[in-house]
Amino acid sequence: MTPDRLIECVPNFSEGRDLGIIRQITDRIESVDGVKLVGVEPGRATHRSVVTFVGLPEPVVEAAFRAAAAAAELIDMRTHHGEHPRFGAMDVCPLVPVAGITMDEVVEYAHALGRRIGEELGIPVFCYEAAARSPRRRNLADVRAGEYEGLRDKLARPDGRPDFGPLEFNPRTGATAVGARKFLIAYNVNLNTTSTRRANAIAFDVREKGRIKRAPDPLTGDLVRDAKGEPVWDAGSLKAVKAIGWFIEEYGVAQVSMNLTDLDVTPLHVAFDETCRRAEARGVRVTGSEIVGVVPLAAMLEAGRHYLRKQQRSTGVSDRELVKIAVRSLGLGELAPFDPDQKIIEWAIADRRQSRLVDRTLEAFVHETASESVAPGGGSVAAAVGALGAALGTMVANLSAHKRGWETRWAEFSEWAERGKRQHEELLQLVDEDTRAFNGVLAAFGLPKDTPEERAARAQAVEAATRGAIEVPLRVMAVAVASLEVIQRMVETGLPSSVSDGGVGALCAEVAVRGAGLNVRTNVKGLTDRTYAADALARAERLEQEAARRARDTLAAVAQRI
């Protein structure tokens, strides 16, 4: 699936027990081309299912509409009871920008979806969060106040008019809230208690809204009121967090159930650690947690780095390792297995049918290089050798961060390891990018050339593709040169027993630069724009000189320390 213009949709349905009904709803979603279903999480106690799917905006809106229609047919709100607040069959339906799209654009899609649900299905629709059409409806809790049981009276009041759809109460379907919001994590922290009251107390401690303030006298318990007679609230400790406490019968535990509405304000790991602290103060222990739906990769990576820093360990490890640390530290596998390839949104939507060179075994890559195929060739091999060189520098940094007696220097080495990691990851991407660029040149030469117009279009395409085939090896050269700074520093200050590893890394980096430089020189011959060609050659020459200097200095340092 292309990462361009992606939105996420996370409808919540008031059915968490009949898996057949849930399956019929998700079948409607999957019937739309251009949409990928990435999560279905039913809850028996909450009697609610959270469904997550991702795709291009128009298909996502169509899939959401079909899901709303299915819920209206299959769910009867007159018989619904559960732990979670609700007021409709498809209770809420938020749209979330993921990539290549603004919030303002997502709001327009939310309004179009709400209008269709209201007009074509006859369901009252209330718009909330960024899609709210009045300030008082931004907060979902305010929109859903009174829940299903109070919906008839709400619709009869002037301030309860829906944004779309009929004013009449539909007892079977209830109402739907359609919104546009930032990426929200539905996050539950598990407690070693069955007490909903204690779970609620912890939830009130941490949530931004806090709790209503009461007078010090425990006998009266009077509310403290402001000059207007309104109750005064004591704010909780976490901004951009909503939370309640509940008991989940199927697991036999109480939870603090949170919505993290802005991960830039309160990240996942901060919410977990603060809940642990507040629970301990009330004699309760946190035993783990769960993520309902999917989570951005960045949130998991930052959590992994956070817990490694607490251990004074290097954070310059692979993304997979960082995710593993986060899963273990947050206890995400306590109640059910946590599959990163399904729960992390970027990994869940990745098209694994695409064949990448870097996904092959080393043996398969070598054999493909040796075959009669013209690609991968020297450019991809240069990038691969550069990635190995940068990885060696990263390895020395990671080992140095963990050396006994160097505890005061772990942060320094961790920073170098993170730099090296970014470099070898980019060089790995450039392995396939170089082959794609070469194939682009071949495709351009294969364009028709029977007419003057076709010949002009072909010449323009060849020129553009050739530029691409020059810029990729130039980027390989630049990143490999940058990796030499890490390698040299690790040779000079890192673990003495790994100095030779750094030396090999320096040799690999210089080979990558010189090899990519050969590709630049080969490709500039076919350019019509000689000014650009001269500039590309000058850039390559400067990078080669810099690589030679740094590699020479690094190998001299190796000779001194080995």
Query: What gap in Å lies between CA 256 and CA 204, rounded to an integer?
Result: 9
Could you confirm whether 434 is annotated as catalytic? Answer: yes
From 205, 432, 434, 501, active-site residue: 434
Could you confirm whether 33 is annotated as catalytic? Answer: no
Sheet holding 286-292, edge to edge: 241-248, 253-260, 185-191, 286-292
From 47, 84, 306, 424, active-site residue: 84
Reduced to 3 states, what is the DSSP secondary structure of residue 219? coil
- Name beta bridge partners: 295: 344
Tokens found for residue 184 = 């929200």
Residue corresponding to tokens 């905006």: 57
**Residue 294 and residue 38 in contact, taking contact as beta carbons nearer than 8 Å:** yes
Side chain identity at residue 128, one-letter code = Y
Positive or negative, the CA dihedral 92, 209, 207, 244 is: negative
Q: How many CB atoms lie within 10 A of CB 498?
A: 21
Crossing angle, helix 57-74 and helix 103-121, to 10 degrees? 30
Please spell the DSSP secondary structure of 469-515, one letter per residue: HHHHHHHHHHHHHHHHHHHHHHHHHS-GGGHHHHHHHHHHHHHHHHH
Q: Compute CA distances 252 → 43, 292, 537, whole Å.
A: 13, 18, 68
Reduced to 3 states, what is the DSSP secondary structure of residue 88? strand
Active site amino acids: 84, 434
